[in-house]
Amino acid sequence: MEDDAPVIYGLEFQARALTAQTAETDAIRFLVGTQSLKFDNQIHIIDFDDENNIINKNVLLHQAGEIWHIAASPADKAVLTSCYNKTSDSRVVSCAAVWRMPSNWDSESHESPDDSAHNPQTLELLCHLDDSAHRNAACVLWEPMGDGKRVISLADNHALLWDLQESSTQATVSSTATLEGKGQLKFTSGKWSPHHNCSQLATANDTTIRGWDLRTMSQIYCIENAHGQLVRDLDFNPNRQYYLASCGDDCKVKFWDVRNVQEPVKVLEEHSHWVWSVRYNHSHDQLVLTASSDSRLILSNMVSISSEPFGHLVDDEELSEGEDNHQEDKSKEPLKDSVVSTYEEHEDSVYAAEWSSADPWLFASLSYDGRLVINRVPRALKYRILL
Amino acid sequence: MDADGSVSDESGRRRRVHGMLKLYYGLNEEGKAPEQLQSLDPCDINGPHFDPELYLNKLRRECSLSELMDHETCMVKQIRSLDSDMQTLVYENYNKFISATDTIRKMKNDFKKMEDEMDCLSANMAAITDFSASISSTLQDQHAQITKLSGVHTLLRKLQFLFELPARLNKCLELQAYAQAVSSHRRARCVLQQYSHLPSFKGIQDDCNAIMEKLAQELRQKFRDGGTSAKDLSECVELMLQLDEPAEELCDKFLSHARSRLELDLQGLEAEIKPYPPPPAPKEAATRRSSSSTAAGSPSDNSPKTLSLPSPTPNTDILEFIDRGCNEFVSSLCLVITSYQELFINHAQTGELASKNIPQMANGKLQAFVDDLAARYFSLVERRIQEEKGVGDNSLLVRALDRFHRRLQAVAKLLPGSAVPNRGTEIVIRAATERVKQYLSALQSFYMDSLTDVRQALATPRLSVAGAGAHLGGPAAGRDAPSSLPELLSSLSASILNQIKSVLASVHLFTAKDITFSNKPYFKGEFCSQGVRENLVVNFIRFVCQSSRQFCESAGDKGGSTPPALLLLLSRLCLDFETSTISYILTLTDEQFLVQHQNPITPVTALCGEAREAAQKLLNHYVKVQGLIISQMLRKSVETRDWVNTIEPRNVRAVMKRVVEDTTSIDVQVGLLYEEGVRKAHSSDSSKRTFSVYSSSRQQPRYAASYTPSAPMDTNLLSNIHKLFSERIDIFSSVEFNKVSVMTGIIKISLKTFLECVRLRTFGRYGLQQIQVDCHYLQMYLWRFVSDENLVHFLLDEIVGSAAHRCLDPSPMEQSVIEVICERG
């Protein structure tokens, strides 16, 4: 059962922003945003052909500036948001905007993929997610599994809930929440919870994690000193509503039960430098992906705190097929939390990692030097989870 | 006649004479053998086979004429002498025969006379026999009468005794001569019993019984009074036993009597404990109050002493208490046991009045009695021992326990099957283990206290500049006092060692040779191996390691509460433990206590491993904490600045100087406790040379590439190729136990933070140049601290490279200008 070799794709520019095309459930597709101060920035649409292990890329221009964060709409494949830096008059301004990909973005790529002379198409701006009072967006979050009408942007110390209207060409702030306290507080990242009817949001600023109720825009919980240093990223367990993973500059990944925020449920300390991204697998929440600036990507199997702590629960139908011995196998091998695999294909800091929205066993990671690596969950583990 | 013959001739002649006599008397047999030997020679003139012809021929052949002549005269002479001999012999024998005949005739006459006298004697004897028979027949009647009379006499005397008995008993009662009364009554009892059907005897018996009843009453009364001496008491009991009092009842009474007295002793003992109730705080207060009241009553000197004592001390120390217990309770218990055994067991066994099971019954009662009282005594002793909490002087406790144990041996001797001595030993064992526990906690609190002291010593700012990072001339004394670190370490480890030694010495008292319980198997084996070695020494070492490890965890990720210097110190302490202290302590323990390794014990290597692990963890944590402190400075400096609109660099930023200073002082601090370690070889001038190489020859083309629009890939290619050949750097990784490794770790953490922060910013032209200046400055000073200077080069290279990438207008500064700025400081 040899695992497939990782597939590597190199971008010309440095890059930090990576997302799966959330609304796409058939093709394995990732979007990468580049960072370049001198050239027009691009959004690379990476299509992965699972059968042939081949990558197809399409490039769209993102001329507004270098991309720090990118997010795809969960409803419309063609819509995405980006947070970018704009330099004007020797000033650097952070902005956020909603974009639409041109409808025929993949029309000519097949004809002349290596044609360097061809002019890439440009993204179509739908609307800005800024107003005069709120700038410096750190990230934009789509409502999970929503209809693509609501987004939240985190700008400085504000969380803004936007309603997108008229096929996303108009955005209005419907409510805001403000972080108040001493000094210059700034949200670094956030996550919209898919649970509780999508009425909760978790944000990170400095070493603190906060939970917000979107209906009242008020704080519902606060984990002070969640990490020893800056919290870099958050993710909600897709299947267990109170479970939250966080990572930060103390090289740790922590798992929290937000009902009891005094102590983390579990702490992972596998990385040897800051952890920049943590992602639960969308279907099998024991699989957790972490990316770190030690140039490593680590896939962990956190069985004990997953929604399937005793392995895959066999349905009655399956049982009726006489798989008793198979059941015994399950009880024999104790399921332990463990690191499944450490991926060392990157040579620079890995700032982003994402699971594919189409294939739950496939994920992409992006390092600063522009290297995108697509990997699969090891087959042995995959079969153990499935069977 | 013999004078002229030779000696041989003389003897030969005699023999011949004898031979002839023998022949005559027929005695041949005995002389046969020698005769035959001689006689074979026909030339032997004395032999029986003598042949004169042969002899003559031989002589004629052998001898000369003169010799023959001599021989002839000699022969004639011999013949003559033989003839005269013969005559003499015949004469002598004849005389002897005549005298023998005379003697026999005389004897015949004497025997005749004797025979007549014997006849006369036998006749007389017959007459005497007749007389004697007649006398005895006449005396026969009188003898029978006398026998009968004497029988009547004794009977009468017995009767008289019986009739006088009541009066006599009464008299005895009056005189309190109980013993005599009882013995008299005993003598009469059976008779009275036998003849009680006769009215007169019945009366006597009734009288006697009444009197004896009274006597018994009196005895009982006396017994009950208790004031009597042990001897009286035992006499009393003896008499009552003889009076057929039920033995069981007597045992009970005797024991209850003894119990009341022993309980007095116990109460006395209890009273000594009582004034100090269990909760310690009021106890102390009570002590103080009582002492102050005594001080008020009599302004003596003991009140300040009492106050100054930290632990509550009852007015008697434990030795006194045990002494008192031994002298009062145990010795009177022994007395009771001996007298009881004397009375009820030994006596009963010999005495005729013993019913079969009195000894067993009495023994059982005694056992129960002793067990009960001893249990109460033990509970008191245990309570007292528990109060003994101060660990100051162990010898007192040991001596007290020894005495306690020793005195119980007396009970063991008296009552061989009793459980009392075993339970006493158990108490001693419990006390000993309790003591060991107390010592452990004392050691632990001592350790924690000394850590607090160290912490305080570290926290107090030293005014004297410790010669630390002074090579920049900057204010280096801001950090803790590094010069005292080795002293603190040595004093800490020395005081720990001393404390352990003194505790071991104290505990060793338990196994001293002159202590009676030290040869119990527990104290020989388990106490040494489990109690002292495992529970005390090993547990303490474990505690040290664990508490050290806790500093890494509990202190939180910010490292806030624990000063880094303490981490460093503890890590060195644990390392020292690993290398020498642990094995030293354990060897010391094993030697002192002669530990026999029968039970599984913790091996030295396991402990050393633990200590090493703790040391490693502490050192890693130290690196992390120090690295974070510097990282934090660098991060703030990058994040808070507007790098796009900055002015042209004229100086190295202050924060970089601060970083170098701090690194230097950390270097000094670490250097105080850890060895230098190995570093890759480099030339003394490496700072400048390598930097210029890195800056001018390699960096310049990279900049050029980065703003040449045609080849954006080159940048990545170059840096990727570079990375291909350099090893992956683990930032927060384990460090080795030496200075260079520690410093490398700290610098790695700091520079990596710098790099990541730079990548998050956008730079203007002067921003990039400032970073160039800063990096060069760091390059100048940091290379000396790390094991592999290429690491510093690589990271700084990355920083400048990243800054160039993030620069809106990347025009780097001239290398020479950078150098000038940096050298200006």
- List all residues 6 or more positions away from B515 whose beta carbon is below 8 Å from its beta carbon: B398, B401, B402, B509
Distance of residue B713 Cα from the nearest chain A Cα, in angstroms: 5
Provide, as residue numbers in chain A, all residues whose Cβ is less than 8 Å from the Cβ of B720.
Answer: 347, 369
Yes or no, beta carbons of B556 and A228 under 8 Å apart? yes
Distance of residue A229 Cα from the nearest chain B Cα, in angstroms: 7
Q: Name the residue among B628, B707, B730 with its Cβ closest to that of A38.
A: B707
> Which residue ranges form the domains of chain A, and what is each CATH number?
7-108+119-386 (2.130.10.10)
Distance of residue A216 Cα from the nearest chain B Cα, in angstroms: 33
A27 vs B140 pLDDT, higher one: A27
Residue B132 has pLDDT above 70, yes or no: yes
Distance of residue B608 Cα from the nearest chain A Cα, in angstroms: 25
Yes or no, beta carbons of A87 and B732 under 8 Å apart? no
Q: How confident is the model at residue B11 (pLDDT cuts 50, 70, 90)?
A: low
Measured CA to CA, the distance from residue B661 to residue B633 in angstroms comes to 12
Q: Tell me the three-class secondary structure of B610-654, residue by residue.
A: HHHHHHHHHHHHHHHHHHHHHHHHHHHHHHCCCCCCCCCCCCCCH
Of chain B, the percentage scoring pLDDT greater than 70 comes to 74
- What is the pLDDT at residue B717? 53
CB neighbours of residue B559 within 10 Å: 21
- List all residues 6 or more positions away from B772 whose beta carbon is below 8 Å from its beta carbon: B649, B695, B800, B803, B812, B813, B818
- Taking the Cβ of residue A189 and every Cβ of chain B, the question of whether any pair is shorter than 8 Å is answered with no
In which element (H, E) is residue A81 found?
A: strand A79-88
The region that residue A249 occupies, defined by phi over 0 for left and psi between -120 and 50 for alpha, beta otherwise, is alpha
* Helix, coil or strand: residue B197: coil
Distance of residue A369 Cα from the nearest chain B Cα, in angstroms: 6
Yes or no, beta carbons of B716 and A370 under 8 Å apart? yes
- What is the pLDDT at residue B696? 36
Under 8 Å between Cβ of B532 and B504: yes
Measured on CA atoms in the order A107, A110, A116, A117, is the torsion positive or negative?
negative
Q: Which chain B residue lies closest to A251 (C-alpha atoms)? A: B732
Q: Which chain B residue lies closest to A35 (C-alpha atoms)? A: B806
Looking at residue B547, its amino acid is: S
Provide, as residue numbers in chain A, all residues whose Cβ is less than 8 Å from the Cβ of B762.
Answer: 37, 85, 87, 92
Measured CA to CA, the distance from residue A161 to residue B541 in angstroms comes to 58
- What is the pLDDT at residue A231? 92
Q: Which chain A residue lies closest to B720 (C-alpha atoms)? A: A347
Q: Beginning with the edge strand found earlier in the chain, give each strand of the sheet holding A287-292 in spatial order.
A: A275-280, A287-292, A297-301, A338-343
The beta strands (E) that lie in A241-296 are given as 243-248, 253-257, 266-268, 275-280, 287-292
Most confident of A115-129, A278-292, B393-407: A278-292
Range in A86-95, A111-120, A302-311 the model is least confident about: A111-120
Pick among A90, A342, A350 to test the B interface (most B CBs inside 10 A): A90
Yes or no, beta carbons of A91 and B644 under 8 Å apart? yes
Measured CA to CA, the distance from residue B734 to residue A97 in angstroms comes to 44
Q: Name the residue among B645, B720, B756 with its Cβ closest to that of A347.
A: B720
Q: Name the residue among B558, B644, B709 with its Cβ closest to that of A228.
A: B558
Q: Dump pLDDT digits (tens) for B78-121.
A: 989 988 998 888 888 888 888 888 888 887 777 777 777 888 88
Closest CA to B536 of B595, B609, B598, B493: B595
Q: Dump pLDDT digits (tens) for B589-627.
A: 888 777 666 666 777 888 888 888 888 888 888 888 888
- What is the pLDDT at residue A70? 92
Measured CA to CA, the distance from residue A276 to residue B684 in angstroms comes to 39
Yes or no, beta carbons of A349 and B707 under 8 Å apart? no
- What is the pLDDT at residue A32? 92
- What is the pLDDT at residue B433? 83
Q: Which residue has the tokens 């990468």?
A: A32
Yes or no, beta carbons of A344 and B807 under 8 Å apart? no
Provide, as residue numbers in chain B, all residues whose Cβ is less than 8 Å from the Cβ of A44.
Answer: none
Span between the terminal Cα atoms of chain A, in Å: 15
Q: Biggest alpha carbon distance in chain B?
A: 188
Q: Which residue has the tokens 């642990």?
A: B582
Pick among B633, B706, B716, B805 to test the A interface (most A CBs inside 10 A): B716
Cα B776–Cα B778–Cα B784 angle in degrees, nearest 5: 115
Measured CA to CA, the distance from residue A278 to residue B199 in angstroms comes to 122
Provide, as residue numbers in chain A, all residues whose Cβ is less than 8 Å from the Cβ of B752.
Answer: 273, 293
B220 vs B8 pLDDT, higher one: B220
- Taking the Cβ of residue A243 and every Cβ of chain B, the question of whether any pair is shorter than 8 Å is answered with no
Q: Dump pLDDT digits (tens) for B394-449.
A: 777 787 888 888 777 777 777 777 777 778 888 888 888 888 888 888 888 888 88
Q: Dump pLDDT digits (tens) for B445-497.
A: 888 888 888 888 877 755 433 443 333 333 333 444 444 778 888 888 888 88
Q: Which chain A residue lies closest to B749 (C-alpha atoms)? A: A273
Contacts 24+ apart (CB under 8 A), B813-816: B813/B649, B813/B769, B813/B772, B813/B773, B815/B692, B815/B695, B815/B696
* Helix, coil or strand: residue A283: coil
- List all residues 6 or more positions away from B137 whose beta carbon is below 8 Å from its beta carbon: none
Of chain A, the percentage scoring pLDDT greater than 70 comes to 88
Measured on CA atoms in the order B388, B393, B399, B401, is the torsion positive or negative?
positive
Domain boundaries, chain B: 1-113, 168-232, 439-624, 642-824
Q: Name the residue among B556, B716, B752 with its Cβ closest to that of A273.
A: B752
Q: How confident is the model at residue B810 (pLDDT cuts 50, 70, 90)?
A: confident
Provide, as residue numbers in chain A, all residues whose Cβ is less than 8 Å from the Cβ of B732.
Answer: 251, 272-273
Provide, as residue numbers in chain A, all residues whose Cβ is less than 8 Å from the Cβ of B723.
Answer: 347-348
- What is the pLDDT at residue B355? 56
Residue A330 has pLDDT above 60, yes or no: no
Measured CA to CA, the distance from residue B171 to residue B409 in angstroms comes to 48
Token pair of B712, please? 């954006």
Measured CA to CA, the distance from residue A265 to residue A269 in angstroms comes to 14
- Alpha carbon distances (Å) from A346 to A175, A338, A378, B522: 41, 22, 18, 64
Distance of residue B561 Cα from the nearest chain A Cα, in angstroms: 13
B825 vs A293 pLDDT, higher one: A293
Under 8 Å between Cβ of A276 and A232: yes
Q: Which residue has the tokens 């570290």?
A: B458
Q: Which residue has the tokens 């921003």?
A: B767
Q: Name the residue among B712, B732, B807 with its Cβ closest to that of A13.
A: B712
What length is written for chain A? Answer: 387
Measured CA to CA, the distance from residue B681 to residue B476 in angstroms comes to 29
CB neighbours of residue B390 within 10 Å: 16
- Taking the Cβ of residue A349 and every Cβ of chain B, the question of whether any pair is shorter than 8 Å is answered with yes
Residue A121 has pLDDT above 90, yes or no: no
Yes or no, beta carbons of A369 and B558 under 8 Å apart? no
Under 8 Å between Cβ of B694 and B797: yes
Q: Name the residue among B731, B805, B807 with its Cβ closest to that of A294.
A: B731
Provide, as residue numbers in chain A, all residues whose Cβ is less than 8 Å from the Cβ of B808.
Answer: 37, 87, 90
- What is the pLDDT at residue B704? 35
Q: Name the residue among A90, A274, A370 with its Cβ closest to that of B644.
A: A90
Pick among B728, B748, B754 to test the A interface (most A CBs inside 10 A): B728
- Taking the Cβ of residue A369 and every Cβ of chain B, the question of whether any pair is shorter than 8 Å is answered with yes
Average pLDDT value over all residues in chain B: 74
Distance of residue B450 Cα from the nearest chain A Cα, in angstroms: 29
B682 vs B252 pLDDT, higher one: B252
Q: Which residues of B499-538 are buried (b: 16+ CB within 10 A; e: fewer)?
A: bbeebbebbbbbbeeebbbbebebbebbbbbbbbbbbbbb
Contacting A with CB below 8 Å, chain B residues are 556-558, 628, 644-645, 706-707, 709, 712-713, 716, 719-720, 723-724, 728, 730-733, 752, 756, 759, 762, 764, 805-808
Closest CA to B667 of B476, B463, B473: B476
Most confident of B2-11, B401-410, B473-482, B743-752: B743-752
Under 8 Å between Cβ of A174 and A162: yes
- Taking the Cβ of residue A49 and every Cβ of chain B, the question of whether any pair is shorter than 8 Å is answered with no
Residue B219 has pLDDT above 50, yes or no: yes
- What is the pLDDT at residue B558? 45
- List all residues 6 or more positions away from B99 whose beta carbon is below 8 Å from its beta carbon: none
Most confident of B281-295, B419-433, B514-528: B419-433
- List all residues 6 or more positions away from B247 whose beta carbon is below 8 Å from its beta carbon: B241, B344, B348, B355, B358, B361, B362
Under 8 Å between Cβ of B618 and B567: yes
Distance of residue B433 Cα from the nearest chain A Cα, in angstroms: 38
Measured CA to CA, the distance from residue B561 to residue B553 in angstroms comes to 11
Provide, as residue numbers in chain B, all residues whose Cβ is less than 8 Å from the Cβ of A231.
Answer: none
Q: Dump pLDDT digits (tens) for B696-712.
A: 333 333 333 333 333 33
A308 vs B639 pLDDT, higher one: B639
Distance of residue B552 Cα from the nearest chain A Cα, in angstroms: 13
Provide, as residue numbers in chain B, all residues whose Cβ is less than 8 Å from the Cβ of A274.
Answer: 756
Provide, as residue numbers in chain A, all residues whose Cβ is less than 8 Å from the Cβ of B709.
Answer: 38-39
